[in-house]
Each structure stands twice: as C-alpha cells, then as structure tokens.
Amino acid sequence: MAKPTGFMEYDREISPDRLPLTRICDWDEFHTHFDPEQQRTQSARCMDCGTPFCHSGLLIGGAASGCPINNLIPEWNELIYKGRWDKAFTRLMKTNNFPEFTGRVCPAPCEGACTLSIIEPAVTIKNDECSIIEYAFEQGWVVPCPPKTRTGKHVAVIGSGPSGLAAADELNKFGHNVTVFERADRIGGLLMYGIPNMKLDKSIIDRRIDIMKAEGIVFKTGVNVGQDITTDELQKEFDAVVICTGATKPRDLVCEGRDAKGIYFAVDFLSRNTKSLLDSKLEDGNFISAKDKNVIVIGGGDTGTDCVATSVRHGCKSVVQFEIMPQPPVERARNNPWPEWPKILRTDYGQEEAAAVFGRDPREYCVMTKKIEADENGNAVQIHTVQVEWKNVDGRFIPVEIPGTEQVRPADLVLIAMGFTGPEDALIEQFGLNRDARSNIDAAYGSFTTNVDGVFAAGDARRGQSLIVWAINEGRNAAKTCDSYLKTK
C-alpha cells in the first residue's frame, strides 16, 4: 500500500482546469497536470482496503463498477508514493495499452468503486494514471518495442478506434503482421473525430500511432472496407479479420419538422469541426458553425456536453441542452449504493463554460421535443417543447407530458446527441454476419467469434455504445482469441 494514514492526512485534490473564460478562446486541452510531487501526495491516499473494488470491472446495476481493463491501481499508487515511477509505468502498461487516452477521457468508474469513496472523496485514480504515462513519455521510457519474431500470419483490423487500436497492438505483440483499415483520413476513430480537441489533443493520438507504426503495424486511411476493398478480397488476403467499427449509427429525433435545415447529428457537427481545425485551424470553413446562432442540443450525455462546449467556442448567441430524464441527485440515492457507479449530478466542462458566458447552466431536464418550426426558406427558427414526468405504466417507466408546460424557443441550430443505435449495416451484410437482438454483431463476449470463420468482432460494434475502457478491454481480449485461432491454422 501507499502511506497507511495518507487517506486521513490528505484531502483529495485534482489539478485545476484552465478557467472557463480563458479556455473558450482556444481549442487546447483544458486540463492541467500536477507535478510529480503533488501527484505523489494524492497517491498516498490509496488505503489498505483489503479487497480493492477499484480494479474489479464488475457490472452492477447495468453499469461498470471498477476498471473494466482491471488496472492494477493499488499497486501503481503505492509505487508512485515510493517514487518508483518506472515500476508504476510497467505495472500500468500490463493492463492498459493507452493510459494517455483513458487518463483524459475515461469517466473513471474506478473512482466510483474506490473504497475510500464510501466516507470521503475517492482517490484521484484517473489523474494518477495520466501522471504516470505522461511522466514516462517525458523520461523517454515509452519507446517502440517490435516483436522479436513474426508468425507469418496476417490480420486485418477494421476500424482504428480504441478497440481496433488495442486489438492491433496486442496482435502485433503476438508477432502477427497487422494492418489497420480506417475509412477516415486520420487514425483514431472515435478518439480522433468523436472527441473534441480540448478534451483530447490529437497530438496525443499521433504520438501513440507513431510508436505503433515503428513497432510494425501498418495503417491504411481512406479505405472503406466493403467499398474500396470487398470483404471477399480482405478474407483472401488476410488469415483473420477483427471488426472494430464502433456503433456509429446515430439515434434520430422523431418529431414534426425534423427535415428543416439547420438540424444535424452531433457526430457530424463534432467531427467536421475537428477535421477543419486540424486541416486549417477552421480557416477553410468546412464545418458547421454555431456563431451567432441560438443552439439547441438534444441529449444530456458526454456528446451533448461536447456540442455545448464547441458551440460556445464558435461564439453562439445562446445554448440550451435538453435532457429527457430527470435531474440526478447531488448525492447517491439509497437505491444506488457503493460500489455501483454513482448516478449523481455532475457539472462537466461544457456546462461550466456555458454558465460562465451566459450566466446559467444550459441543461434543462424532463424536456421532450414536440416540433421544429422552419421559416419560408426551410431553415429551423423555433423549437416546441413540453415538460414530462416519468410514470410506471404497466410495469414500464415512460415519459408522460405535463399539460400547460409547453414552450416555444428560438432555435437556429439543432444538434441531436441522443446516442447511437448500433453499427452500420453495409459491412455486416457484406460479411454475412449474424446480429443480436440490438442489431449489434453477434459474437459472444469472451470468444468474440462471429458466425463467419476467421472473423471476430469487438468493441461497440459488438456490445453497443459503451465506454472507452470497455472498448480497450474487448480489443485486447479479441486479440487473444484471434491469436488462438491463428495457432490452429
């Protein structure tokens, strides 16, 4: 363990974010990082809790409790405290291929399951993780480690998001020749174009990809498997295929006026902004601008928050974020005990920034969109909403409209951030893959094998929209199954 009395001596402190009114003037990461000594003090709070739940990765109440990739959290916290950063780095890399990603954008289910969080604020596990990997990069410890021998087997990985990268990394370590196909113009999938630069600077992704390239992994961008290369051609060229295309089919809004101009899926709004930012620092104009517009974001999750933050940086006239669910409690409810993921009210960076600019939290709860009104040119100008309450009707909780709560609000730009319904159809159909009841690729967790010989599936394409740590978990484990398969060929 770290310091036996550390959790009694030190309060939780996290490195401060850049001030909202400062950070909205650029697209740089808003997080700052403690120096090693400050982080060492925070690691000292990791207590001798007997049976740690932080690295359990259990599913409790339908959500992750603890780390799904089973990071050896108490071990590397102790090593940080003892100043053994090199050993902490080694321990961290045993379970996590990309701690520089998770240390920035993971929601940290590990902290929700931290034993200390029963009575005190949790250990700063996420910050500790990020500090280890960044210190390792600074010290030059993160270097390419190509396999000493090659098996002669060739594996295609389709998709370069977190699951695809994890699968490719592991398969390469096994000595297989790995080629990653990505239909976008840059590697990273969700990491590159789904998460804004201020949450995850794209140089962080490029830094890791450069290492993977040096280790022998081949990356091919701008290749849409199923169109630019058929699945038959792919199966003839490669000994195995791992599909990690994600769950990229957005859930649509069903309401009158949905066809008005100025309504976009959040993923299109965010990805086009990031591409333009990287291509030209937004000078090419190839993005959906929120400047001087009344923005409505429909959806209360992380993607909705990213839309709020991006709109604020564009210079929107106003921004409101609708959530159809009730506002969460400030503290754990009685039916949400530790070590379940705490379903509590959190104010994320986007809400902080909107509040700093407009003087109020942009979120409104229990709001249902009824209609979008357009002008004579077909452009969205207003949105009609109604408040709802959730009631148990025949054993199902459904939203019921509250009479007299109708509102009409200005809306020049409407962004749909209602999640995703599953993977896209074309590739699945061309491979002839079976699907599960939720339209995901049918491949059991643990085996990751599909109904087609030599074809495996992992990540959101298999499990549906989920966390980055689950994607890494699945990519790593699918690689193991694929490796076992290749040994029989």
Give me the number of domains the chain comprises.
3
Residues 432 and 290 in one domain: no
The mean pLDDT value of the chain amounts to: 96
Beta strands in 239-293 (DSSP E): 240-243, 249-250, 263-265
Q: Domain holding 458: CATH number?
A: 3.50.50.60
This prediction's pTM: 0.96
On whether residue 145 sits in a domain, the answer given is: no
Report DSSP state, residue 440.
Answer: S
Q: What is each CA distance from 339 to 6, 55, 74, 170, 331, in whole angstroms?
A: 21, 11, 16, 30, 14
Residues 256 and 194 in one domain: no
Same domain? 24 vs 119: yes
Residues 162 and 100 placed together within one structural domain of the fold? no
Average pLDDT over residues 332-344: 94
Say if residue 116's pLDDT is above 80: yes
Q: Are residues 299 and 338 in the same domain?
A: yes
- When pLDDT is cut at 50, 70 and 90, the band that residue 284 belongs to is very high
Q: Which of 168, 196, 172 is nearest to 180 (CA)?
A: 168
Residues 431 and 446 in one domain: yes
Q: Is 147 within the bounds of a domain? A: no
Instruction: Please give the Cα distance from 350 to 290 (Å, whole number).
Output: 15
For residues 167 and 285, membership in a common domain is answered with no
Last residue of a domain, one of 72, 106, 139: 139
- Residue 237 shares a structural domain with residue 268: no
Please identify, among 418, 438, 469, the residue that sits at the C-terminal boundary of a domain: 418
Residue range 235-263: mean pLDDT, rounded: 97
Whether residues 102 and 44 share a domain: the answer is: yes
Q: State the average pLDDT over residues 167-186.
A: 98
Same domain as 428, residue 380: no
Q: What was the pLDDT predicted at 395?
A: 86
Domain coverage including residue 284 = 252-418
The rounded distance, in Å, linking the Cα atoms of 163 and 487 is 22
Q: Which of 418, 448, 473 is the last residue of a domain?
A: 418
Domain match, 427 and 409 both: no
- On whether the CB atoms of residues 63 and 109 are closer than 8 A, the answer is yes
In a domain, 331, yes or no: yes
Does residue 383 share a domain with residue 306?
Answer: yes
* 206 Cβ contact partners less than 8 Å away, ≥ 6 residues apart: none
| 1 occurs within a structural domain | no
Q: How far apart are CA 251 and CA 442, in angstroms?
A: 20
- How far apart CA 362 and CA 348 sit, in angstroms, is 11
Lowest pLDDT segment from 38-52, 76-90, 126-140, 144-158: 38-52
| Confidence at residue 48, expressed as pLDDT on a 0 to 100 scale | 82
* Average pLDDT for 252-274: 98
pLDDT for res 1:
64
Residue 144 placed within a domain: no
pLDDT of 61 > 90? The answer is no
Q: Which of 178, 203, 176, 181 is nearest to 192 (CA)?
A: 203
Tell me the sheet residues that pair with 384.
371, 408
**DSSP label at 441?**
B
- The model's confidence at residue 2, banded by pLDDT at 50, 70 and 90, is confident
Query: What pLDDT digit, counting tens, does each position of 66-87 carry?
Result: 999 999 999 999 999 999 999 9
